Structure 1
């Protein structure tokens, strides 16, 4: 029988080799076709007396990347439609039946009466990992890059095909809880925990799997024995009680109970460990159905599971242009950010020129790249030959003449218009005819920076986020004259270095910094209102932000914030800057010498030893014009203000055509500045609340706190016509 996603070959010894090779994909994913075919294969092997056992493996470099998120998203959308048409009970039952099919297929493997071996080549994640766990023996090819785990929690889902029940039964609760919460395991650790039974060289993987079957491998799983004891003891044992107590505390600390899947995971494991496997799997499926039907999970799947890969794959690339080969990149102003981008480029196989005013500074930038590689080597993620090859691609110099054969030149000097202009003047005589020049500015409009260039179509903005090694987002800014070639080059470069791009049109602060400024502005406003600084920071984290606004101001640097205020004031006049905020920055930066984390003093005090925790500066209260009693402060209102002020600014960027694709606003807000991921991003947050209700909230906050909460006319029109951002997006392609 022919299959699309699998081949099945039975040898003379009666061993069936099931090879997974999803057509048209780089990685195998469990989609509808694969699931239906695997179900049929399991039935066929179980009933065929000539087959003694089965080996399941992958024809690709990786075993599987998990379930097809688009399939799960479509299931959730069908649930929503059926819920409206036929009611909750019918919709929930249909979703339960559909979403647990993979769980039933994997259980059929486990109970087939024939031994199955998972021959794991490369990483097995999510449902792919759950498939291997349902097999009676797991053997993996030796590779330091192989990872096993459940990353689905990062898109708002818990394991739904047996993972929450099999992992604790194999390794015990303490380690299981870490893995189920998204920790990905390297191969050796998985072997130590007995999640993998053997590791062999790649060339003998299949034969080793067959040898286990030929040597008498049995189709047995210990938890189906009525005498089976959980490795950590029953849920009421001391070990289990301590684990659940700690897990609940960590859940509250890490998530503030904002993530439904994280809470459901704890309940699922706790309840399932008290039941036989089949009943436990039904419990897991019910929790999975409950989470998949939640609007939060749907928003997270859409943004992080679907939109992010689409943008990373070139969804916004101009049509009809061939791929741009980027062989050499120059970075002017190789400070901390420039050095990081240089390191990423060299690691991606691109030749790099680091240009600084002083040779000593240029050499220091190259040294940062070496240090970054040494850190990777220490973690087992790279080797010395990879480091040496990458470093050989980096040239540190003061000579602008080295720009002559560069395909892309990235300016990353100080956020000062005159300093940037000077760098452009030095660079322009050496640029070749096809070179693209980009500015890593975070606020200055690209159109104005390009004024001195003869061919402005080749000038573009590329805003990296700090630290560039860790932050996945790059904001690409089109000036009024930026051409498609420059855009395609920037997108191809960002993709080559492994980042996710969003494309926005020109505006002061573009998209990300406009929203971030509103966040830090709101924190400063609360500070001046007299809200205790600790309450400001804690409420921001409770709202879902990764760090408080005062801490973020320190990370960005208070002196830089003051410079941006001065630059904005110089360009647009004093009314463009909040003078009370500027007065506070002047006090902190110029009078008290508190520049932020970079000099160890800002809103916080930073100890010399990194291992010690930072703390809010005790002298902050002396800078507050008044002080409010914490008992008189509405915590829920503070949380709401933090999210709404960013979301309404994002809506303004849509109204002004800075953002033209809702995917980019949502992906950019989460990857760029950590906007509460459980909402799915800034625009999804508005849709989750309901646009009409959001407008009402904005108007209430505007009346109390000012016009920064004023909803744009676009939102009011959408509320009146019952339109949504993604509804409009689905009707027509977005303008570039």
Structure 2
């Protein structure tokens, strides 16, 4: 056996220890499946001499899910073979739980996806009480469903309503939460106690069986036909569609498997699950999501975009210039990871207000029991609010996070550089201004870099690292290390107006305004954004950013580019909203939406001023295509211009920074999964109808040619 060992002790207790040769983790790959089949066959042969079975692991984790390298490579025409493979695996798990022997999962570490499905096939689950361990069935987040019996067993264990969040949301949990939910039966202090408890339970429970295999079993909460359950299920599809907009087949499939499987015997329910699972695994959506959210993310965590040849470094002291919303958020991000922060503003009161942001975040965490008051106080001590520039002395990195004004940024950069450590890094949190230009304000441009955090910093994972013309490779490596030290996800791009994320985001909001200028009803525009899979419609997100900021960026672009600036159809709409209607966005209380004090926001009725009576309504799919293609095509232009260097960073950055629909796998993958030739034809059609901004970039033309 290459994936597990089979050991039987003097008491007749067999321990199956998962330990894939040459792998960091155990997965449900071909070697595991073959070894499991052999182990179950041997257990059946030796059944008369055995007292029970313990499943555990020699790795740090118990068992990961399926082998995603294997899953992502399965073509749709290989669905029958995949179905038979998954049915064979499930047959072995079913034999294991119906041997008539007590089977214990000794969870020495995390068990997610297929790993937890194997644990669910055991009669008793014991976990080491390490809150770093995670359990659950997160397959839905990768476009799949738990196909190794997870849906069938969770529904029979918790009932339809009880299993909802674990299956449809992919909720993960720690040992204590699992114990409280009944998904884990006992906790152990360490691995030695874990195995001791497992042996004791086997000796005390010789006649073990799953709840659903016992006589008189009833589904917790009732069958789908029972009135209370039927009432809940009647509204579930509508609630699901409100979240997925029909773009994500996995949640719909999970709901179907739950309901259909609850009405039949275990074997039939399991077969239903396999059929839906096979359909999802061979779908393009699952391949898109796995490719970006698993493989690309893991490559970034492993340092794929980090310059090689520089030893990793951890920072101890960081300066932040500007204690506004972004500066305060960056200070929190640092302090929450144990990094000392000097938070400077022009006045002590403003700096103290920036520190108050962290105090408010901590108060919420204290209230939820996520941090003690003593630990919160220690964290706050790491933030030093000040108005004195000399307090920045010795900082290993200083991040400028002041207003988007070149002169102001230059002034604070020059002041800070005098206090920066000799080998320190100067960074700008600008979202649009070219880094090479900002670097001219300092004497050490090789040590200057862009660090674009996203708001709110405490929630947003992404940080866009922008290399200036003179930024050194060592500075880039140190910035990458710092972002990872904060527990965030770095992408690396080259300099250019708007870099990558702000530039592509601007295309989304501008296209929404362009549609409004064409007379498309505002409600239809917003609905198109949501149906495309964007988290917020283009007009609503423009209000959040503020029309005033958009106007400032427009003025700066016109001034910088002069005669080279090309007017966009959105420009006239933006100018009219501010100059004619005095609607400047949510912060000003009025934008494309009204914001009543005691009611939900609603589209401003004055947008009728943009209506064009007599013009027929466009097809919804055309609007959806415009909003997705304009972002994907601009991403392709970023490759043409050298702003982007890898599709990995483009896809992860678009999902985490722009809210580009996860079902696509990212802005670059959207064009690939659409089909390069078909995407090229669609871009050409959109360009003919709506303008040169949809003209196909060279990147897409090369992709189609290949």
Range of TM-score over shorter length: over 0.9
Report the equivalent of 1:314. Answer: 303
CA contact (8 A) 2:6 2:15 kept: yes
Counterpart among 104, 107, 123 of residue 136 in structure 1: 123
Report the equivalent of 2:608. Answer: 621
Distance in 1 of aligned mates of 2:456 and 2:12: 55
SS of the residue 2:393 aligns to = helix
Report the equivalent of 2:81. Answer: 94
Stretch moving more, 135-144 or 333-342: 135-144
Q: Structure 1 residues 230 and 459, CA, compared in 2 at 3 Å: closer, same or farther?
A: same
Q: Structure 1 residues 567 and 627, CA, compared in 2 at 3 Å: closer, same or farther?
A: farther
CA contact (8 A) 2:28 2:66 kept: yes
SS of the residue 1:16 aligns to = strand
Stretch moving more, 110-119 or 468-477: 110-119
Report the equivalent of 2:634. Answer: 649
In the alignment, is residue 505 of structure 1 matched against residue 507 of structure 2? no
C-alpha distance after superposition, 1:96-118 (max 9, x if no partner): 23344543343232123321112
Report the equivalent of 1:408. Answer: 397
In the alignment, is residue 51 of structure 1 matched against residue 36 of structure 2? no
Report the equivalent of 1:14. Answer: 12
Mapping for residues 186-225 of structure 1, pairs under 5 Å = 187-199=175-187, 201-202=189-190, 204-225=193-214
CA contact (8 A) 2:16 2:54 kept: yes
Report the equivalent of 1:714. Answer: 699
Root mean square deviation, CA, Å: 2.5
Distance in 1 of aligned mates of 2:92 and 2:448: 54
Q: Alpha-carbon deviation of 1:10?
A: 4.3
5+ long unaligned stretches in structure 2 = none
SS of the residue 2:55 aligns to = strand
CA contact (8 A) 1:57 1:63 kept: yes
SS of the residue 1:426 aligns to = helix
SS of the residue 1:471 aligns to = coil
Distance in 2 of aligned mates of 1:508 and 1:415: 13
Mapping for residues 57-456 of structure 1, pairs under 5 Å = 57-58=56-57, 62-74=61-73, 76=74, 79=75, 88=77, 91-143=78-130, 146-181=133-168, 182-185=170-173, 187-199=175-187, 201-202=189-190, 204-225=193-214, 227-456=216-445
In the alignment, is residue 475 of structure 1 matched against residue 475 of structure 2? no
Q: Alpha-carbon deviation of 1:147?
A: 4.2
Mapping for residues 586-605 of structure 1, pairs under 5 Å = 586-589=575-578, 592-605=581-594
In the alignment, is residue 678 of structure 1 matched against residue 663 of structure 2? yes
C-alpha distance after superposition, 1:45-65 (max 9, x if no partner): 443344311222345665444
Distance in 1 of aligned mates of 2:654 and 2:348: 37
SS of the residue 1:54 aligns to = strand
5+ long unaligned stretches in structure 1 = 81-87, 724-736
Stretch moving more, 547-556 or 341-350: 341-350
C-alpha distance after superposition, 1:106-162 (max 9, x if no partner): 323212332111233454321122111111012334455554322111111111111
Distance in 2 of aligned mates of 1:679 and 1:632: 27
The two structures have a TM-score, normalised by structure 2, of 0.93
CA contact (8 A) 1:308 1:667 kept: yes
CA contact (8 A) 2:101 2:206 kept: no
CA contact (8 A) 1:339 1:365 kept: yes
Report the equivalent of 2:35. Answer: 37
Stretch moving more, 170-179 or 264-273: 264-273
Report the equivalent of 1:733. Answer: none
Report the equivalent of 1:85. Answer: none
Counterpart among 572, 582, 590 of residue 561 in structure 2: 572
SS of the residue 1:284 aligns to = helix
Distance in 2 of aligned mates of 1:567 and 1:154: 40
CA contact (8 A) 2:446 2:472 kept: yes
Q: Structure 1 residues 375 and 221, CA, compared in 2 at 3 Å: closer, same or farther?
A: same
Distance in 2 of aligned mates of 1:655 and 1:626: 37
Stretch moving more, 196-205 or 521-530: 196-205
Distance in 1 of aligned mates of 2:403 and 2:34: 57
CA contact (8 A) 1:531 1:627 kept: no
CA contact (8 A) 1:271 1:280 kept: yes
Distance in 2 of aligned mates of 1:20 and 1:391: 44
Q: Structure 1 residues 417 and 241, CA, compared in 2 at 3 Å: closer, same or farther?
A: same
